[in-house]
A and B are shown apart, each in its own frame.
Chain A
């Protein structure tokens, strides 16, 4: 006979954004769009991630990463931004911290850009429009490695 304890309770599932030690993963969002920042924040917050900070262009993104380091687990990076684009910012962050975990999030799905980013060291690449499931899946893939 099956008892209640045989079935995992949904309420007992740990939110994806919480590490094993109980603290949340800290994320830096780099994107020039207020709307995208809001979208990613909502998706990640709903699973317990903490948004450590946001930046509106590549230059600001690199600065903030350096400030937050080493208390930063993940960066989401847009490609098309003013002042400094995401690919350049990716390079600079990796120069600073070769173990940085950066996920590119862009509306551009060009093969050569994807290849370039991954070759440079980005851990993953998500093409917009964003859907919650896809974002969480990829983020966790990168964090759990």
Chain B
């Protein structure tokens, strides 16, 4: 160990039962520590060999007496600010884990601290900027609080080095929560609580996307409940369901009707060049996918149409390729076009010419999406049930995945920011185009 590390003197050791030693260091202004048994040595190093095509937190590699080891910048990995970016020599801890040796750059290595294992407390999210799952515990020593990192967890299961993908998909750090916009008075605290229970019972997240609707609904709900002498707060799943009932888009869970088709077709362009690509997120049993395919085929007789329909509910989507509906559930335009055929009395399925336009995939859209550029994205009432950071991520994905002039169809009560998106509306159909100015 270098001479900048101080150890406890013999007499200090005697004062408490030391059975665990940690090396402490600072990172983004906070104090962290790692079990000394995981640490092979310490370096002060200024040069690392850059390696192309690696994640942003991989600084490069270093030749450690013949062994080439990767060097990770922990500050970049955990998205904490670098305290001294102009530092000439970096403080590096060389970690020797079960099957990997690597170096991590920290702000400042401090000292070896001896503690009693029993003093280590479980982690609390408030203590750190990084995700709780990477922390093995916290401990206090000499009136300093150290956050002990679980390096086996951080560098073990998820092989940081072989990957080249975005940090967003790899390290779940605590992104700043999209704040639920409330003023600080009583009514808005009530609203905030309702919003929180919507998360608990229905995984419905109130953000800019649906704030307007939710706030309006809350006012309405409050009036309803107080005049009926009932509690405003949502006490159970059934309350939450009732609250959300008016949220859902027209024709949820069924084929889109003639009126919806008329309105949508008014929004669609005169013609498309070549293949019309459609991405349908959260298609469930397939009603939306068949509807959009039928509407497009009805309008564009000669274009190739490709609908990529996803859902992560296997039970629902596995029935989609064979969807059967009763005649009274079929809008006349589908019947008139001959898009459906009878299977047995009163029950119909879609003909090959429509079925073949759709590829149903068991897929989680929060994983990497590998699709060609899209002309139409159908994501009705899906975004609102994603966590705020995922909502943002998906909306960004939409931007990059849309063709010139492409549109996104969200839920009736979901909105995209006016600065970035241009809104098109025709009756009960709302779509958004990327705003170029």
| Direct interface between A and B, CB < 8 A | no
